[in-house]
Amino acid sequence: ETLPATDAAPASLSLRLREGTRPEHEQAETTGFVEKLMGGELDVAAYTDLAAQQYAIYGALEQASAQIRDDAQGATLVFDELTRTPSIEKDLAFLVGSDWATEIRILPATEAYVARLLEVGTSLSAYAAHAYTRYLGDLSGGQIIKRMMERHYGLGPDGLAFYTFDEIPKAKPFKDVYRERLDSLDLTDEQIAETVEEAKLAFRLNSALFAELGAIHC
Ligand code: HEM
């Protein structure tokens, strides 16, 4: 029996991630904290608090990267040029001072995000979901955030190393390669569905963090 001609080919993982997380992206992008930070209504302290949370989050994400690269498929998603932890450390040293490591405070929403990364981050589908959510976001909306932080709070390049990918001169071709790598993973339908679900969760963990930052800074 032939399939009806109207049956669309199954969408690629990268497309399913983009489409599947569209509402969650919209939600994250329009939280009060993000809108006010982007609109210049907050201050460097709010940006610094976000950077501190990202220090913990990328610590866990990049610990997962170091492990998943031992897996042949996992290795295709790990790019040294994406590594953000050293950049965040530089930003915090500038924003907080040399004692930044003992000065920063990790919020409960961050602890929950980190716990999820430590729990599932070394499974291929979960790693793909979390790495996609953060790194493609940093290379997309992150570049807009960088410009707004320069404009409103007089930051940069000191303090904005996180958003500066020295080894990725053009985000677009890099993101295309990253999406090809996602689409080349050998995943079952079930694993693909799991990846999309985990990416939605990753967005919600980010939104929960913005809500907590908003309660403090807005
Ligand atoms: C993509 C803006 C927040 C994750 C994009 C794109 C824009 C954008 C314009 C499309 C770029 C392109 O087509 O190449 C923004 C703005 C934000 C924001 C203005 C808030 C200030 C976030 C957050 C996350 C995120 C909080 C997740 C933590 C992503 C991801 C993509 C993306 C994963 C890639 C979508 C895809 O092509 O598959 N963002 N974003 N964004 N953003 Fe955001």
Tens of pLDDT, residues 75-93: 999 999 999 999 999 999 9
Tens of pLDDT, residues 46-71: 999 999 999 999 999 999 999 999 99
10 Å Cβ neighbour count for 151?
Answer: 12
Which residue ranges make up each domain of the chain? 39-217
- Burial of 127 by CB count in 10 Å (0-12 exposed, 13-18 middle, 19+ buried)? buried
Nearest CA to ligand 1 atom 19: 141
Task: Indicate whether this complex's ipTM tops 0.85.
Answer: yes
Q: Mean pLDDT by 10-residue block, N- to C-terminus, for the chain (218 residues)? A: 62 97 98 98 98 98 98 98 98 98 98 98 97 98 98 97 97 98 97 98 98 98
Nearest CA to ligand 1 atom 16: 141
| Binding-site residues, ligand 1, Cβ < 6 A | 17-18, 25, 28-29, 34, 38, 132-134, 136-137, 140-141, 144-145, 175, 203, 206
- Residue type, position 3, single letter: L
Please tell me the CATH code under which domain 39-217 is placed. Answer: 1.20.910.10
Nearest-angstrom CA–CA distance, 109 and 207: 9
What length does the chain have? 218
**Minimum-distance ligand 1 atom for the alpha carbon of 38:** 21
Going from the Cα of 142 to the center of ligand 1, the distance in angstroms, rounded, reads 7
